[in-house]
Structure 1
Amino acid sequence: MSRPTTLHRTPHRPHAWLAWLAASQLAVAGLWWVAGWRWGLPALLLSHAAFIVPVFLPRATLYAPALSRLPGDERQVWLTIDDGPSDDTPAILDALDRHGMQATFFLVGQRAQARPELVREILRRGHGVANHTWSHPQAWFWALGPRAMAAQVERAQAVLGELAGQPPRWFRAVAGHTNPFLAAPLRRLGLARAAWSVRGYDAVDGDVVRVLQRLQRGLGPGAIVLLHEGAPHGRSVEIVEAALCLLREQGYASVIPE
């Protein structure tokens, strides 16, 4: 079942944060002038934190709008799988077929270019393909400047668009991080940012029981479920299979909002 296109929100004012920054610093300067450094310095630090902390919060929308949950009270979830394509992709596709579930694969452009047959197989089986940057720079994505950020988004979009026959409509940031330079390329390419509401930390934790416990705690109608493939612990296929079993046991269907 498709969702309304209003869920797909591209950034309309990529530089709106600048107005908030200027207003906050003027307010701090005024407070410092009137009340001195004892009040001005804490206000300065807090004002800077208000612009730094959202960089690391996956559902924060200061720098770009993000979809973190689907509307409605039906027992439906958006199942998303990050970091492919990988050696795990064929087995995950088989698991999705067995359980009658659809998913969106947030693919790394560099990996997709190296394994185009897996991208085509994902699409052939009725799943979605979305943009998860060109090279997945996990340690420093949050700190990219405007040119490097644009390259990460645009190169992946070009490769995935060529392989899929049409450009992706959704983007997921590495680790969910953003910064002031992400919104501009998203707007140029017509991309909407997807966050999540449920995660099991399966990219770093290979314990299936712990991952499922975390997933179960966050499940609810409209949840966006974050899973991964190709994790270093080597148990991604097992975890996805277990997550699909959990969803079926809980009576959830999957939906792709496109």
Structure 2
Amino acid sequence: MQIHRPPRHPHVWWALLVVSQLIVIAIWWRYGWRIGLPAMLASHLPFVWGTLWPQSRLFGPALIRLPTDERCVWLTIDDGPSDDTLGLLDVLDAHGAKATFFLVGERAAARPELVREIARRGHGIGNHSATHPSAWFWALGPRRMRAEIQGCQTILQGITGTAPRWFRAVVGMANPFVAAPLRDFGLARAAWGARGFDAVRHDIEGVVATIERDLAPGTIVLLHEGARHGRSVETIAALLQRMQAQGYATVLPEDLEGSPV
């Protein structure tokens, strides 16, 4: 089965934009601004939705679940490496679990030993931008977007010797300029199907319960490390305990690639 799907036609959105605006011009010309203006605003809504909705595939493929009927999920841990990384690795080892760590380039460059330890213990490493511009990632232009993706890719490959294959958009928002660098660097975008807002919530039981409601075979679970509340390791440990009690295992997408659907 094909799970890893980098964008193939990163500029097709231009055609959609041009066609939609030609239709708007025709409506404005025929009916005037009272109808033309609302039509123009409406024509932009799909592009806004495509940028702000993490599961949107308007600007290219995005994996939102693994294609499996087995009782397993893909754990993804964003924003590292951090002071939590070693503790998380120990917790994952204790539960026999695997995860993909979506790392920030500049943080990886500052702590390369943690990146190598993640790889040594058999976990995946993904690209999560060079500087993690959370407030403005959705609005980055093509040059800065490419720099964010390429910069992180270069740093992580330099540390581990292997280029990441997966990319997680910052805050999940992927604007039209994400697809071209993903294609050029062979990256596929990973979204998610379950999250508990653990980066900001310190209520461990609440976070775990929120994620638990969305667990199903193939679910991609979004988690974080280095949260300001300092409870990331405890939260992920509690989630792993709950998952094991329900019979869920963890799997990496590369473990499924090449297997029959």
Using the size of structure 2 for normalisation, the TM-score is 0.95
What amino acid is the match of 2:61? Answer: P
The answer for unaligned runs of 5 or more in structure 1 is none
Shift of 1:28: 1.3
Which residue of structure 2 aligns with residue 82 of structure 1? 78
Give the alignment of 1:128-147 within 5 angstroms: 128-147=124-143
What amino acid is the match of 2:225? Answer: E
Which residue of structure 1 aligns with residue 91 of structure 2? 95
How many correspondences in the alignment?
254
Maintained 8 Å contact 2:49/2:56:
no
Distance 1:170 1:153 in 2: 11
Cα deviations by residue, 1:167-203 (Å, 9 ceiling, x for unpaired): 0000001000111111111111000000000000001
Distance 1:249 1:94 in 2: 19
**What is the RMSD of the two structures over their aligned residues, measured on CA atoms?**
0.9
Give the alignment of 1:175-214 within 5 angstroms: 175-214=171-210
Which residue of structure 1 aligns with residue 258 of structure 2? none
SS at match of 2:130: coil
What amino acid is the match of 1:251? Answer: G
2:2 matches 1:26: no
Shift of 1:53: 2.1
Shift of 1:37: 2.6
Which residue of structure 2 aligns with residue 110 of structure 1? 106
Cα deviations by residue, 1:47-97 (Å, 9 ceiling, x for unpaired): 011112221110101112100101122111001000000000011001001
Distance 1:177 1:199 in 2: 15
Distance 2:209 2:243 in 1: 12
Maintained 8 Å contact 2:132/2:170:
yes
Shift of 1:39: 2.3
Which residue of structure 1 aligns with residue 257 of structure 2? none
2:220 matches 1:233: no
2:67 matches 1:71: yes
Which residue of structure 2 aligns with residue 43 of structure 1? 39
The answer for unaligned runs of 5 or more in structure 2 is 255-261
Which residue of structure 1 aligns with residue 167 of structure 2? 171
SS at match of 2:73: strand
Using the size of structure 1 for normalisation, the TM-score is 0.96
Distance 1:109 1:11 in 2: 22
Which residue of structure 2 aligns with residue 61 of structure 1? 57
Shift of 1:99: 0.5
